[in-house]
């Protein structure tokens, strides 16, 4: 981590304030305060040194830090503090991590490598629990030492005399049963199924009782037993929390029953010397937790930048122009302008900055830079998805900054295909946009643990949005985000009134790979990294579709934009030859902006504009129509066949 960028070691002053102990007695509640402090300190230091880590990397770094000072504990508390909200956690292998750290200390590896490596067994997964379930936390007042407790269980396991207390059970049985039970509880939480939770918690309790017996350890103290029984009597699933042995227990209630039932339980807990702590599970994302939305947006920028590959694989390398040795025109004769949408809008260059960001401070800064670049170069530009601002109006400024710094340019807003017509109109208003992009990203959503799972209303939504915006004279482009579009997709969109698509093909920035990286462990979805049609395959499939061509000849024009792995001005001209009106670029421009700055990006775009003209002159084509009709190409074997 530090060995790559080599930032200078600077002095800092770290002040820690915490509410995670009892104000009267100073006793710790046992809520994982050391993990919380570790995560906060690691996060603060990363910020101090300007290191942008993804959430899984931050979690790993905090686990490394805490494993250096704490010789036991699962790391679950560290993961909970890093991610926030409901998470499912599977512990890392302690011996493996110790060996890895030794390799770093001996100079045979680096922290940087360790953070990017897959850790055996280790998994953190966000659970989509929603607002239907609420948590009650009771504190028994007696502190428990997880380290001692885990040490005692470990000693019991290592003594080799496991069956002395209970000959029928073994530690391995416990591990197998426990794994199944945890999965059952995770499913029950996501489905809001209280009955399944009751049986999952009961099973967990029985398993811990067995573990206590086979290792001679007291996990459920008498007060924790009372805490569970009180909740049980009211029909609520309850369990010890953390390592047990004291401290806290939890109960879970349906949100609609919470007020009625919590008062009763808290009173009874109090009668038994148990203090209700009045805590809530941190909400995230949908419910508007700023830090988590921002983290995701920052992760996207950081990982897209890291995964950037100058050699895209969008199929452009298979498209070769047949040269024209007698161009018969002057460079000055070439006109690269293109009419888009309603034929009254003209772009001087068939190129635009495609949708990227917004929704975090870093996103806002990038939008501000891109807007200045677009204004200077005259390029059209799109914002990233405005979903975050539609959920949380405080984030609107991270998008509207585009209009502030590019008041007269052509700007496109961007929403998801799950958006309503009202949300689409709001998005256009925030940016005073000239057009709206609606993005399709089913593969990305399915790979994201917190992503959408229901796409059944997309086509309907798109139809409603198109018709609402039609009356406002705002054109709509439906775009993919890296998996491409087939002619069949385009026809279906055409049937609901769409008149422009951006194929967003495979081969450039890859959101499936980005989400796989965010999950930080073999997600099981790596096979989707190569899902979809490349940009060139999409363009060819659409260009060869007679039905689209026929409709294009009749009045129902379908305009096609190309994006996905456009990395050179030659790729732009190849896209135009394959039927695109203009080409959109995201990853390439983001890379230049982050690595070399705003001026370098302006310079790059100005060179591309000039080079597009040069290529057209070399082909003897005086305008884009001429290029489409009169230039010839060779396409090497790999074209599409549907
Ligand atoms: C994107 N892209 C994107 N697309 C979209 O419709 N809405 C969005 O919010 C985003 N967000 C986003 C963030 C970042 C950091 C990148 C790099 C890209 C996808 C983008 O518009 C484009 O379709 C793909 O990136 C493929 O083009 P490139 O990057 O290969 O030129």
Nearest CA to ligand 1 atom 2: 356
Residue count of the chain: 642
Identify the burial level of 271 via C-beta atoms within 10 angstroms of its C-beta, where 0-12 means exposed, 13-18 middle and 19 or more buried: exposed
**Residue 625 CB neighbours (<10 A):** 13
Coil vs helix vs strand at 373:
helix
Residue 470 main-chain phi, psi, to 5 deg: -60, -40
Q: What angle do CA 519, 523, 525 make, to 5 degrees?
A: 120
Tell me what pLDDT residue 28 has: 76
Tell me the two tokens of residue 377.
């170069």
CA distance 354 to 508: 12
Nearest CA to ligand 1 atom 15: 301
Tell me what pLDDT residue 622 has: 98
The single residue listed with the structure tokens 């096979």 is: 527
Tell me what pLDDT residue 125 has: 86
Instruction: Choose which residue among 366, 384, 562 to substitute to test ligand 1 binding: the one with the highest number of ligand atoms within 8 A of its C-beta.
Output: 384
- Span from the CA of 180 to the centroid of ligand 1 (angstroms): 39
Atom number of ligand 1 nearest to Cα 300 = 15
CA distance 591 to 24: 54
Residue 391 main-chain phi, psi, to 5 deg: -80, -35
Tell me what pLDDT residue 36 has: 92
- Span from the CA of 95 to the centroid of ligand 1 (angstroms): 40
Beta strand 133-139 pairing with 275-276 = antiparallel
- Span from the CA of 538 to the centroid of ligand 1 (angstroms): 17
- Span from the CA of 509 to the centroid of ligand 1 (angstroms): 7
Atom number of ligand 1 nearest to Cα 358 = 9
Q: Which H or E run includes 410?
A: none
Q: What letter would DSSP give residue 162?
A: G
Q: Which H or E run includes 38?
A: helix 33-48
Scored b (16 or more CB within 10 A) or e, 297-330 reads: bbbbbbbbbeebeeebbbbbbbbebeebeebebe
**Which parts of 216-289 fold into alpha helices (H)?**
222-233, 255-271
- Span from the CA of 366 to the centroid of ligand 1 (angstroms): 13
Tell me the two tokens of residue 30.
């046992």
Nearest to 54 by CA among 300, 259, 284: 300
Atom number of ligand 1 nearest to Cα 301 = 15
Atom number of ligand 1 nearest to Cα 312 = 30
The single residue listed with the structure tokens 């004291």 is: 246
- Span from the CA of 384 to the centroid of ligand 1 (angstroms): 7
- Span from the CA of 301 to the centroid of ligand 1 (angstroms): 10
Tell me what pLDDT residue 176 has: 87
CA distance 353 to 366: 12
pLDDT in tens, 68-79: 987 678 899 999
**Residue 264 CB neighbours (<10 A):** 12
CA distance 308 to 354: 15
- Span from the CA of 405 to the centroid of ligand 1 (angstroms): 21
Nearest to 74 by CA among 84, 86, 63: 63
Tell me what pLDDT residue 145 has: 63
The torsion of the CA quartet 391, 396, 402, 403, rounded to 10 degrees, works out to 120
Tell me what pLDDT residue 156 has: 64
* Cβ-based neighbours of 82, under 8 Å, separated by 6 or more: 39, 55, 58, 59, 62, 124
Nearest to 210 by CA among 249, 155, 160, 173: 173
Q: 211, 245 in Cβ contact below 8 A?
A: no
Q: What angle do CA 43, 123, 45 make, to 5 degrees?
A: 10
Q: 203, 184 in Cβ contact below 8 A?
A: yes
Which amino acids bring their CB within 6 angstroms of ligand 1? 300-301, 304, 354-357, 384-385, 414, 437, 439, 479, 481-482, 504, 508-509, 563-566, 585-588, 590
Q: What angle do CA 594, 595, 597 make, to 5 degrees?
A: 65
Nearest CA to ligand 1 atom 26: 564
Q: 96, 119 in Cβ contact below 8 A?
A: yes
Atom number of ligand 1 nearest to Cα 507 = 30
Tell me what pLDDT residue 233 has: 93
Tell me what pLDDT residue 317 has: 94
Identify the burial level of 410 via C-beta atoms within 10 angstroms of its C-beta, where 0-12 means exposed, 13-18 middle and 19 or more buried: buried
Q: What letter would DSSP give residue 78?
A: H
Nearest CA to ligand 1 atom 16: 356
Residue 633 main-chain phi, psi, to 5 deg: -130, 160
Residues of the chain below pLDDT 50: 285-289, 639-642
Atom number of ligand 1 nearest to Cα 479 = 6
Nearest to 377 by CA among 600, 613, 581: 600
**Partners of 88 in the beta sheet?**
125
Q: 277, 340 in Cβ contact below 8 A?
A: no
Q: 3, 111 in Cβ contact below 8 A?
A: yes
- Span from the CA of 356 to the centroid of ligand 1 (angstroms): 5
């Amino acid at each position: 981590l530090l060995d790559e960028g080599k930032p200078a070691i600077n002095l800092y002053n770290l002040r820690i304030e915490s509410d995670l102990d009892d104000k009267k007695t100073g006793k710790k509640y046992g809520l994982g305060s050391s993990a919380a402090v570790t995560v906060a300190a690691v996060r603060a230091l990363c910020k101090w040194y300007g290191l942008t880590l993804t959430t899984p990397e931050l979690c790993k770094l905090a686990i490394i830090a805490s494993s250096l000072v704490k010789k036991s504990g699962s790391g679950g508390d560290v993961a909970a503090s890093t991610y926030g909200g409901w998470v499912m956690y599977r512990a890392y292998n302690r011996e493996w991590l110790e060996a890895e750290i030794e390799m770093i200390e001996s100079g045979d590896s680096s922290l940087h490598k360790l953070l990017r490596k897959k850790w055996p067994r280790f998994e953190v997964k966000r659970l989509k629990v929603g607002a239907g379930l609420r948590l009650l936390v009771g504190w028994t007042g007696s502190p428990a030492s997880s380290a001692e407790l885990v040490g005692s269980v470990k000693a019991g396991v290592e003594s080799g005399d496991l069956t002395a207390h209970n000959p029928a059970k073994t530690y391995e049985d416990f591990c197998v049963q426990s794994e199944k039970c945890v999965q059952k509880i995770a499913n029950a939480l996501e489905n809001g199924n209280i009955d399944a939770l009751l049986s999952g918690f009961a099973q967990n309790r029985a398993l811990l009782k067995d573990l206590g017996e086979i290792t001679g350890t007291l996990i459920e103290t008498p007060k924790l037993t009372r805490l569970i029984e009180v909740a049980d009597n009211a029909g609520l699933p309850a369990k010890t929390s953390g390592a047990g042995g004291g401290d806290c227990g939890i109960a879970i209630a349906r949100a609609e029953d919470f007020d009625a039932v919590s008062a009763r339980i808290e009173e009874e807990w109090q009668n038994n010397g148990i203090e209700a702590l009045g805590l809530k599970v941190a909400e995230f994302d949908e419910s508007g937790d700023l830090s988590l939305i921002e983290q995701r947006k920052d992760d996207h920028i950081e990982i897209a930048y890291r995964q950037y590959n100058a050699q895209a694989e969008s199929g452009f390398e298979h498209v070769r122009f047949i040269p024209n040795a007698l161009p018969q025109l002057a460079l000055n004769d070439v006109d690269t302008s293109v009419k888009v949408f309603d034929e009254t809008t003209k772009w001087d260059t068939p190129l635009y900055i495609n949708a990227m960001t917004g929704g975090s401070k870093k996103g806002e800064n990038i939008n501000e830079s891109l807007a200045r670049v677009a204004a200077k170069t005259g390029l059209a530009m799109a914002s990233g998805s405005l979903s975050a601002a539609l959920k949380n109006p405080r984030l609107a400024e991270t998008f509207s900054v585009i209009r502030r710094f590019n008041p007269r340019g052509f700007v496109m807003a961007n929403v998801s295909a799950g958006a309503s017509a009202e949300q689409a109109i709001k998005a256009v208003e925030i940016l005073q946009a000239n057009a709206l992009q609606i993005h399709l990203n089913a593969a990305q959503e399915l790979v994201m643990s917190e992503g959408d799972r229901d796409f059944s209303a997309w086509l309907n939504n798109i139809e409603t949005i198109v018709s609402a915006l039609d009356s406002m004279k705002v054109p709509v482009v439906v775009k993919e985000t890296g998996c491409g579009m087939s002619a069949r997709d385009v026809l279906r969109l055409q049937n609901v009134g769409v008149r422009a698509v951006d194929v967003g093909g495979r081969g450039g920035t890859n959101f499936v790979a980005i989400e796989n990286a965010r999950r930080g462990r073999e997600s099981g979805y790596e096979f989707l990294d190569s899902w979809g049609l490349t940009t060139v395959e999409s363009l060819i499939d659409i260009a060869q579709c007679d039905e689209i061509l026929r409709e294009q000849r009749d009045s129902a024009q379908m305009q096609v934009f190309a994006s996905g792995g456009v990395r050179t001005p030659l790729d732009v001209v190849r896209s135009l030859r394959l039927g695109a009106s203009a080409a959109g670029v995201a990853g390439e421009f983001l890379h230049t902006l982050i690595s070399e700055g705003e001026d370098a990006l302006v310079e790059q775009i100005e060179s591309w504009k000039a080079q597009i003209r040069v290529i057209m002159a070399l082909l003897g084509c005086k305008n884009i129509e001429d290029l489409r009709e009169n230039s010839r190409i060779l396409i090497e074997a790999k074209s599409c066949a549907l």
